[in-house]
Every structure is written in C-alpha cells, then in structure tokens.
Amino acid sequence: MTDAVEDLLQILDLEQLELNLYRGHSPDVTWQRVFGGQVIGQALVAAYRTVEDRFCHSLHAYFIRPGDPKVPIIYEVDRARDGRSFTTRRVVAIQHGKQIFNLAASFQVEEEGYEHQFDMPDVPAPEDVPSERELREKILHKLHPEVAKHFNRPRPIEIKPIDQADYLNPDKKPPTQNVWFRARKDIGDDMALNQCVLSYASDMTLLDTCTRPHGVNWLSGKVQMASLDHAMWFHAPFKANEWLLYSQDSPSSSGARGLNRGTIYTQDGRLIASVAQEGLIRRSRKT
C-alpha cells in the first residue's frame, strides 16, 4: 500500500518544460477518465512551483472535459498577481490542444487574527470503524473481473466510511456522511505537499453524498456521475498521513446536478479545511 503513496508522489512531481509550463502524467490504470482529484492536485503543484514563502488558502476549479489517462497533461500557469500579502495564480490543464480543467488559487503570507470554528461531529473513532478495503473485499466475487480489479486496486489514501451504504443495493439515506481518511504513509512536513495530497483526496467520496437520498451509486448503473467544479479552503496546518474526518452534506440536487459540502477535521477536532463541489448526477439512459 505504501507503494501507492510513492506512485502518488511521483504523479504530483511535475516535469518543468519551460517557465510557467509543466507536464504531468496519470497512473497506468484501465479506467477511462483521469481522476478529478489527480488534476486538482497536479494543478496546485504547478501553481506552487511559481510561489515562494506563502501557502494556499483557497482554490476554485472547473472540470471542462474528461481527462485522457493515456497522454500527458500540460499545465500552464498564469502569474496573475504577486501582492504584499496575497499571491494569485491561474492554471490551465491542456490535452489534445484543448482545455480540460482550470484552477484559480490564492496564497497568503502567515498572519494572526480572530479565530473560531464549527465543532467536529461526534462520531466513532477510526480505530472502531472498518476500512473501505475490508468492506469492498466482501463483494469482489459478485463483480465483473475488470470492475473488481479497479474497485480493489491499491490506493494511496486509506478510507474508513461511517454508515457506508450497501455497494450493490444502496438504501435511501439522508444526504450526509462522515468518512475518516489519511495518506497511507508519512509524506513529511512540507505543508505545500500535504495540501496537494489533501486536495487529491478531497475529491474522494464527496460526490457520493448527493446520491444517498436516491438509493443509487456509481456501481448501480442507474446514474452517470462526474465532478463539475471544486472549491477548497485551507484553514490550518495538518499532516495528510494522520487521521482526518471528512464530514459531508448535500443541501440540494436538481437539474441533474448535486451540490456537496465538506468540512475536514483532525482527530483532535481542529477544522483544517472546507470543501464545496457540484457534480453531475444524471439518470442513466439504461433505466
């Protein structure tokens, strides 16, 4: 499993082609699209390569076209502004001569100020929750071999869902969920890298939240799902290899889209990030 983390770090280690121009690659998987969290993480890495002495406090991104995992992704950084306290960057991801994704990120020097936060929900500790891998292994024999291979592949992020819906026969549930997650090995103290890994992981499980009230998921064959946009705010330092609680809710779904929100806490209850995402949840034509 730790090899999966090394693979992720290699994916995030972009190749510089020219000033403000970088190239990223995708893992060798059989899936048809590039994972959205990968593009968010790589784009944030590209932005960070042009910033010094300050950290990202927010990012806003749009997924424009499905990414092709068979070809590299080119990231072009626009150095929009370098201010005394804040730095702004725009990043465009390109494949086959077309934009597939764009991101705006803002960076700030460290400052002190007023502080408050929402309290962390009262949930079981990660030690008392079965891992996603354990839950998935129970149904592998019921899946098509190619689906099972993708479903149970080694992943760099360990996930422990609380109140996981049945993968094969999901019941209708409230549009909320809590998930423990962490990187499977220590990636060091570099906050920029920890933020990039967290941004990668933040696209996991979030879109599922808006499907819970409807009793469908990506395995059911009843819904077409894709991330449309993604926003993230970083509030405090953290380490991505320590257990983090991803508390998620979905205020609304309409027009074949679902809105999802998430707050991310350390195990001792410190709020370190907030996330919002709208995604496509279109009824499958097969139903």
Catalytically active residues are 203, 227, 277
- Beta-carbon-side half-sphere exposure of residue 244 (alpha carbons within 13 Å): 30
Token couple for 264: 């991310």
Closest CA to 74 of 22, 26, 13: 22
Give the span between the Cα atoms of 67 and 35, in whole angstroms: 8
Token couple for 263: 């707050």
CA 203, distance to chain mean position in Å, is: 2
Q: Classify the C-alpha dihedral 25-30-32-36 as positive or negative.
A: negative
Closest CA to 32 of 59, 2, 67, 61: 67
Closest CA to 245 of 120, 118, 133: 120
